[in-house]
Amino acid sequence: MIENAKTHWDTVYRTKAPDAVSWYRPHLETSIDLIQRVAPDSSASIIDIGGGESTLVDDLLAKGYRDVSVLDISPTAIEVARKRIGDLARHVTWMVADATQAALPSQRYDVWHDRVVFHFLTTQEERTAYVQRVAGSMKLGGHVIMATFGPEGPTKCSGFDVVRYDAQSLHAEFGRHFQLMESATELHQTPFGTTQQFLYCLCRVE
Ligand SMILES: C[S@@+](CC[C@H](N)C(=O)[O-])C[C@H]1O[C@@H](n2cnc3c(N)ncnc32)[C@H](O)[C@@H]1O
């Protein structure tokens, strides 16, 4: 992703409170439910892509998971999350990186989680680079949980154009090594009193 995206995201997190961004939710319940369902064992290795300042990492640690990684392009977001968690932050691998360029370990993760990050990748080149990273760093039999804006979601997010997906078009970006297990739309309530349609997809790595 281009350098001004990194500047953009870091400025967002330097200038806005965690609960003053449209994607804020106190807890990512749908994500937590899916993660617990596909990886009930607390030894599971989980990576949250574009985790930002979300509380998913706090909730996973509270549920006993001890192999959690959070990757984000914004150093400010990573620092805010790390400080908020305090002592338990030592159980987390923090990565400041672009998800389309990150050097990730091979066949390392049981769960890949991305809530509203992939939809910012508007070129095929970026999406291919992203999917290569998923394919290379996931264990066989692992699960990929993706949330994007759905077909009736907004066309922009945080000022950027986004690609909206239905389950078939999102799965098509990943290809035959990923089996689409389930999908659902969700109406996200923004802190500003509006709603946005999200699409959640769960895929298994074949
Ligand atoms: C809409 S926010 C969602 C944050 C979080 N996943 C949540 O649900 O609260 C998008 C996040 O993706 C990060 N991001 C955007 N582009 C990225 C990229 N190419 N690589 C890594 N992180 C990225 C941003 O810094 C931001 O934290």
The one-digit pLDDT tens for each residue of the chain (206 residues) are: 555 899 999 999 999 999 999 999 999 999 999 999 999 999 999 999 999 999 999 999 999 999 999 999 999 999 999 999 999 999 999 999 999 999 999 999 999 999 999 999 999 999 999 999 999 999 999 999 999 999 999 999 999 999 999 999 999 999 999 999 999 999 999 999 999 999 999 999 99
The pTM of the whole model exceeds 0.75? yes
Instruction: Report which ligand 1 atom has the smallest distance to the Cα of 9.
Output: 25
Annotate 108-140 with b (16+ C-beta within 10 A) or e (fewer): bbbbbbbbbbbbbbeeeebbebbbebbeebbee
- Using the Cα atoms of residue 89, residue 92, residue 95 and residue 99 in order, give the sign of their dihedral: negative
Distance of CA 21 from the midpoint of ligand 1 (Å):
12
Ligand 1 centroid to Cα of residue 185, in Å, is 20
CB within 6 Å of ligand 1 — which residues? 1, 5, 9, 23, 50-52, 54, 71-74, 77, 98-100, 115-117, 120, 157
For helices 75-85 and 3-15, angle between their N-to-C axes, nearest 10 degrees: 40
